[in-house]
Structure 1
Amino acid sequence: MNSIVQSLLRSGAASTDAALEHLLPGTDVLPHSIHRAMRHSVFAGGKRLRPILCMEAARMVAAHSNPALIDAIPEGVAELGAALEMLHTYSLIHDDLPALDDDVLRRGQPTCHVAFGEATAILAGDALQTLAFQTIGNLRPPPATTVAILREIAAAVSTGVGTVGDIQTGLPPGMIGGQVMDIEGEGHTPTAELVEAIHRAKTGALIAVSIVAGGLYGAGSASTESTASSDTIGRLRSFGEKAGLAFQIVDDVLDMTQDSAQLGKTAGKDTATVKATWPAVYGIERSNEDAKTLIADAFAELEPFGAAADGLKAIAQYLVERTN
């Protein structure tokens, strides 16, 4: 890992953790059990990749409007990143439950239901989701920007991003929709179409919206009159979808090639439960090549942003080179 990526990961994680510490109720706040469970899962040592992608997208878009901002993360965007981390953590808590993946290890720590019981774990996930949207509602950009961010994120974590009313959006279903497809696909021979659909929804939707939301925030913070153009949002969305799919492909490969200590979660579960994964369809060598191709294609979407995109590109490159 090069020094630029190390610095971005370190500073981004620190900013996110500081925001989370401020936003989450302390363990001394009643009811104690739920707040202990929330903090147990949130502060179990995650990489904070979604908040970091959000912050770097905000920096890039703000700097594209005003080059003087290239070295500064927009004020308050760490709180948006923290909200995205809450949503991600809520999804992990529920994903680990006995009714879903039934896992006992997450981020190197006992899963929330193992540590606090199923009922408290379910409610801890619910509470994190609710607090995330409360946090987004309190963001500092112009109200129109906040509403746009809320709309994007709510759609990305739901069941039907691909359809809004009678309108086909062309986007994959949201995170929960992807989780449903994943559950229903267990035990069946995975197809290329099913694997891609699950990955784009279950993992990719939240990664993509982290980047889109960051871009919206960056445009709104650069000027009270500034809004992100449809071209900018389109490029960010395409970049995020490609990077998100690459991230999950690498995750699939690591599940097959690393042990539990390296991953911080139970290794080999995808194979044991006949999960729909990229290597199950294409093999490990093709999977690694596909991840690299997706990142290269993602980079092309950011060409108009020039040097302002260097940080976001560096983090995306790390997504396919990581070992855990």
Structure 2
Amino acid sequence: MYDFAADSADCARAVEARLSDLLTEPALSGPGPAAGRLVAAMRHGSLEGGKRLRPLLVRQAAAIFSVPPAAALQAGLAVEMVHCYSLVHDDLPAMDDDDLRRGRPTVHKAFDEATAILAGDGLLTHAFALLAHPATHPDPAVRIALVAELAAGSGAGGMAGGQMRDIEGETGGFSEDDIASMQAMKTGALIRAAVRMGALLGGAEPRPLSALTAYAEAAGRAYQLADDILDVTATSDAMGKATGKDAGMGKQTFVARVGVEAARQALTAVVTEAVGYLRTFGPRADGLRATARYFASREN
């Protein structure tokens, strides 16, 4: 029987250990020596915290195609580094202006704004170097597909574009469809990329890849809905960051439109939808099922 707690904890340990090895001056140097302050800021923004859910999704999707966890780790690390870069930049005064992340000072508070920008740049850049490395997959064509997938999920048509739409939405005028589109890009696109990258590692054919893509898109909606609910209902201590900021900043969210109870009902429905897309995979997809349900039940 699948054990979500054990699998997610094992994944988090593996990610933490490997990231700690990778984010060092020797490993990041070339052609010149990596700057120590920059590496320290990259480590501050990446280590000692985080649930590592995106690498877990890579691992769980790959497992459907009998790819062992160790063989999915490097691709998962790349997704996590992109996620961490996005948090470092989102926390900046020009964006969400947050002082806390994972219960400790954000990178621009622990260092300074310029260093935080460069730390994010470094994490993003080295994520793609990881995917290009033969250790990610022996087949260069698979590595190229992984690079393209992560670029699509994190670029102007994905996470970065969604953040731009989020900023535009602070002036109001968004419909519910606009909010859904923005959130699918800002949060959902990287979750979608993680699942699809796991499938690509396993050589998924078009039909199973399509089913997993549909699952990932629904799971991404669930994650964002839960996040918006927690911003209204959870304490800052529980979240490890400031809460209640969305309304104050004029953020366009589904919760702001329909209220917490209706949002919770929608969350239950979208998790059911996500799980439904996995029927064809049987018990092999129990990990992905558990993660979608965790998205709805998490408290931070």
TM value normalised by structure 2: 0.94
For structure 2, the 5+ residue unaligned runs are: 28-32
Residue pairs, 1:29-108, within 5 angstroms: 30-62=34-66, 72-73=68-69, 75-108=70-103
Cα deviation code 1:232-288 (max 9, x no counterpart): 111111100000111000000000001110011111110111101110112111111
Would you say 1:256 and 2:232 are equivalent positions? Answer: yes
Q: After superposing the two structures, state which structure 1 stretch, 288-297 or 253-262, moved more.
A: 288-297
In the alignment, is the contact (CA less than 8 A) between 2:20 and 2:47 conserved in 1? no
Question: Counterpart of 1:12?
Answer: 11
Contact 1:20 1:79 in 2 (8 A): no
Unpaired runs of at least 5, structure 1: 63-68, 161-173, 220-226
1:47 maps to amino acid = K
Tell me the residue number matched to 1:110.
105
Identical-pair percentage: 41
Deviates more, 1:186-195 or 1:207-216: 186-195
Moved more, 25-34 or 278-287: 25-34
Equivalent in 118, 139, 147 of residue 142 of structure 1: 139
Q: Deviations over 1:178-231 (max 9, x none)?
A: 0000001113154312210111000000011100001111x2xxxxxxx32111
* Aligned residue among 155, 166, 179 for 2:152: 155
Per the TM alignment, residue 26 of structure 1 is displaced from its structure 2 partner at its CA by: 4.7
State the one-letter code of the partner of 2:49: G
Matched residues in 2 for 1:44 and 1:100: separation?
23
Which residue of 188, 200, 206 maps to 2:172?
188
Paired position in structure 1 for 2:214: 238
Q: Which amino acid aligns with 2:45?
A: S
Equivalent position amino acid for 2:181 in 1: A
Query: What do residues 46-92 of structure 1 show as CA deviations (whole Å, max 9, x unaligned)?
Result: 11000011111111122xxxxxx7xx42x331111111110000001
- Following the alignment from structure 2 to structure 1, what is the Cα–Cα distance between the partners of residues 164 and 71? 34
Deviation at 1:145, TM superposition (A): 1.2
2:16 and 2:48 in contact (8 A); partners too: no
Structure 1 position 124 matched with structure 2 position 128: no
Which has the higher mean CA deviation after the structures are superposed, 124-133 or 230-239? 230-239
Amino acid across the alignment from 2:50 = G
Report the equivalent of 2:162: 178
Q: What residue identity is the alignment partner of 2:151?
A: A
User: 138-147 or 193-202: which moved more?
Assistant: 138-147
Match of 1:210 in 2: 194
Q: Is the 8 A contact 1:260 1:266 kept in 2?
A: yes
Alignment of 1:258-273 (within 5 A): 258-273=234-249
RMSD between aligned residues: 1.7
Q: Distance in 1 between matches of 2:212 and 2:123?
A: 26
Give the distance between the partners of 1:8 and 1:268, measured in 2 at CA: 32
Aligned ranges 1:245-324 → 2 under 5 Å = 245-324=221-300
- Deviation readout 1:109-132 (Å, 9 max, x if unpaired): 111111110000000000000000
Change (3 A) 1:195 1:58: same
Aligned length: 293
What corresponds to 2:30 in structure 1? none
Aligned partners of 1:27, 1:149: CA distance in 2, in Å?
25
